[in-house]
Structure 1
Amino acid sequence: MSPTDRLDELFREFTASSWRWECQGDYAIDAAKLQRWRDGLPPDLDAKRPWLDYIRSVTEAGKTWQRVRMLTEPLTEYLRWLIEQTQVNVDAGEDIRWIRESQARELGMPNYDFYLFDDERVAIMRFGDDKLLAELDVLDDPATVKQHQHYRDIVWPPSIPHSEYHHT
Structure 2
Amino acid sequence: MSSSVPSFAELLGRCERSAVHLELRDSYAATDRFEAWQRGKRIDWEDRASWWHPYDQLIADTVARGVVIRRARVISEPVSEYIRWEHYVTRANVTAGEQVRWLPRRNATAIALPGNDFWLFDDALLRVHHFSGDGVVVEDEITADQEAVTLCSAAFEAVWERAIPHHRYTV
SS for the counterpart of 2:138 is: strand
Q: What residue in structure 2 maps to residue 157 of structure 1?
A: 161
User: Are positions 1:137 and 2:141 aligned together?
Assistant: yes
- Asked if 1:26 corresponds to 2:20, the answer is no
Q: Does 1:62 align with 2:63?
A: no
CA spacing shift, 1:52–1:58, aligned 2, 3 Å:
same
TM superposition score normalised by structure 2: 0.85
> Which segment drifts farther, 135-144 or 68-77?
135-144
Measured after TM superposition, the shift of residue 34 of structure 1 is 2.2
**Partners of 1:16 and 1:54 in 2: how far apart?**
15
Given residue 125 of structure 1, which amino acid in structure 2 is its aligned partner? Answer: H
Query: How many pairs are equivalent?
Result: 166
Question: Percent identity at matched positions?
Answer: 30
1:117 aligns with 2:121: yes
- SS of residue matched to 2:22: strand
Relative to structure 1, the CA distance from residue 73 to residue 165 in structure 2 (aligned partners, 3 Å threshold; closer, same or farther) is closer
Assess, with a 3 A threshold, how the Cα gap between structure 1 residues 101 and 4 changes in structure 2: closer, same or farther. farther
| CA-based RMSD | 2.2
What does residue 12 of structure 1 align with? Answer: 13
TM-score when scaled to structure 1? 0.86
Deviation of the 1:48 alpha carbon: 4.5
Unpaired runs of at least 5, structure 2: none
Q: Which has the higher helix share?
A: 1
